[in-house]
Structure 1
Amino acid sequence: MPSVLTPPVKPMLAKAAGSAIPDDADLIFEPKWDGFRCLVFRSGDEVTLQSRSSKPLNRYFPEVVARLTAGLPDGVVLDGELVVGVNGALNFDALSERIHPAASRVNLLAEQTPATFVAFDVLQLPSGEVLETPGISRRQMLVDLVSDTDAVSLTPATQDAALARQWFTLFEGAGLDGVIGKPAQGPYTPDKRTMLKFKHSRTADCVVAGLRWYKDTEPGTSVGSLLLGLYDDKGTLHSVGVVGSFPAERRRELAVELEPLMADGSVDHPWVGEIAPGTRVPGEINRWRSAQAAWVPLRRELVVEVAYEHTEGGYPSRFRHTAQFIRWRPDREPSSCGYEQLEEPARYDLDAVLKGEVRSR
Structure 2
Amino acid sequence: MLVSASNQVAPMLAKAVEGVPAPDSVAGGLSYEPKWDGFRGIAYVDGSGDPGGVEIGSRGSKPLTRYFPELTAALAEQLDVACVLDGEIVVRTGEPGSERLDWEALSQRIHPAASRVTRLAAETPAIFVAFDLLALGDEDLAARPFAERRQALESLSSRLTHPLHVSRTTDDVETARRWLVEFEGAGLDGVVAKPLASPYAPGKRVMLKTKHHRTADVVLIGYRVHKSGSGVGSLLLGLYDADGELRGVGGASAFSDKRRQELVDELEPYVERDESGEAVKGETDRSRFSASKDVSYVRLRPERVLEVRYDQMEGMRFRHTVQFDRWRPDREPRSCTFEQLDRPVAYDLSKVLS
Tell me if both proteins adopt one fold, taking TM over 0.5 as the criterion: yes
Contact 1:123 1:129 in 2 (8 A): yes
Contact 1:179 1:198 in 2 (8 A): yes
1:91 aligns with 2:102: yes
Q: Give me the whole-angstrom Cα distance separating, in 2, the residues matched to 1:14 and 1:112.
A: 32
2:243 corresponds to which residue?
A: 234
Contact 1:61 1:110 in 2 (8 A): yes
2:297 corresponds to which residue?
A: 295
Return the letter of the residue paired with 2:248.
S
Q: 1:38 is matched with which residue: 37, 41, 51?
A: 41
Return the letter of the residue paired with 1:300.
P
- Displacement, 1:289? 4.1
Matches within 5 A, 1:121-270: 121-150=132-161, 151-218=163-230, 222-264=231-273
Cα shift readout 1:262-284 (whole Å, capped 9, x = no counterpart) = 14489xxxx999xxxxxxxx721
How many residue pairs match? The answer is 336
**CA gap 1:265/1:178 in 2 versus in 1, 3 angstroms:** farther
1:13 corresponds to which residue?
A: 13
**CA gap 1:155/1:294 in 2 versus in 1, 3 angstroms:** same
* RMSD of aligned alpha carbons: 2.1
- Displacement, 1:203? 0.4
Q: Give me the whole-angstrom Cα distance separating, in 1, the residues matched to 2:133 and 2:23.
A: 25
- Calculate the TM-score normalised by the size of structure 1: 0.88
SS of equivalent residue, structure 1 residue 147 = helix
Q: Give me the whole-angstrom Cα distance separating, in 2, the residues matched to 1:81 and 1:17.
A: 21
Contact 1:21 1:164 in 2 (8 A): no
Q: Give me the whole-angstrom Cα distance separating, in 1, the residues matched to 2:150 and 2:339.
A: 41
- Displacement, 1:39? 0.4
Return the letter of the residue paired with 1:329.
R
Moved more, 327-336 or 118-127: 118-127
1:276 corresponds to which residue?
A: none
1:63 aligns with 2:56: no
Q: Give me the whole-angstrom Cα distance separating, in 2, the residues matched to 1:205 and 1:54.
A: 36
Cα shift readout 1:96-121 (whole Å, capped 9, x = no counterpart) = 11110000001000000000000000
Segments of 5+ residues of structure 2 without an aligned counterpart are none
1:341 corresponds to which residue?
A: 340
Q: Give me the whole-angstrom Cα distance separating, in 2, the residues matched to 1:161 and 1:225.
A: 37
Moved more, 100-109 or 244-253: 244-253
Q: Give me the whole-angstrom Cα distance separating, in 1, the residues matched to 2:23 and 2:290.
A: 46
Contact 2:3 2:134 in 1 (8 A): no
2:327 corresponds to which residue?
A: 328
SS of equivalent residue, structure 1 residue 301 = coil
Contact 1:265 1:299 in 2 (8 A): no
Matches within 5 A, 1:69-88: 69-87=76-94, 88=99
Q: Give me the whole-angstrom Cα distance separating, in 1, the residues matched to 2:192 and 2:321.
A: 20
Q: Give me the whole-angstrom Cα distance separating, in 2, the residues matched to 1:230 and 1:302.
A: 12
Q: Give me the whole-angstrom Cα distance separating, in 1, the residues matched to 2:87 and 2:105.
A: 18
SS of equivalent residue, structure 2 residue 301 = strand
Cα shift readout 1:278-327 (whole Å, capped 9, x = no counterpart) = xxxx7213334458810111111100000011111x2xx11111111111
Contact 1:3 1:128 in 2 (8 A): no
Contact 1:4 1:128 in 2 (8 A): no
Return the letter of the residue paired with 1:168.
L
Q: Give me the whole-angstrom Cα distance separating, in 1, the residues matched to 2:3 and 2:323.
A: 42
Return the letter of the residue paired with 1:344.
R
Cα shift readout 1:224-258 (whole Å, capped 9, x = no counterpart) = 11110011122111111111111111111110111
Contact 1:73 1:126 in 2 (8 A): no
1:29 aligns with 2:38: no
1:105 corresponds to which residue?
A: 116
Q: Give me the whole-angstrom Cα distance separating, in 2, the residues matched to 1:49 and 1:215.
A: 31
Q: Give me the whole-angstrom Cα distance separating, in 2, the residues matched to 1:109 and 1:205.
A: 37
Q: Give me the whole-angstrom Cα distance separating, in 2, the residues matched to 1:296 and 1:172.
A: 35
Q: Give me the whole-angstrom Cα distance separating, in 2, the residues matched to 1:110 and 1:144.
A: 29
**CA gap 1:341/1:120 in 2 versus in 1, 3 angstroms:** same
- Displacement, 1:138? 1.4
Q: Give me the whole-angstrom Cα distance separating, in 2, the residues matched to 1:290 and 1:138.
A: 41
2:311 corresponds to which residue?
A: 309
Q: Taking every aligned residue pair, what percent have the same amino acid on both sides?
A: 50
**CA gap 1:289/1:243 in 2 versus in 1, 3 angstroms:** closer
Q: Give me the whole-angstrom Cα distance separating, in 1, the residues matched to 2:4 and 2:92.
A: 31
Return the letter of the residue paired with 1:123.
L
Segments of 5+ residues of structure 1 without an aligned counterpart are 274-281, 356-361
- Displacement, 1:192? 1.3
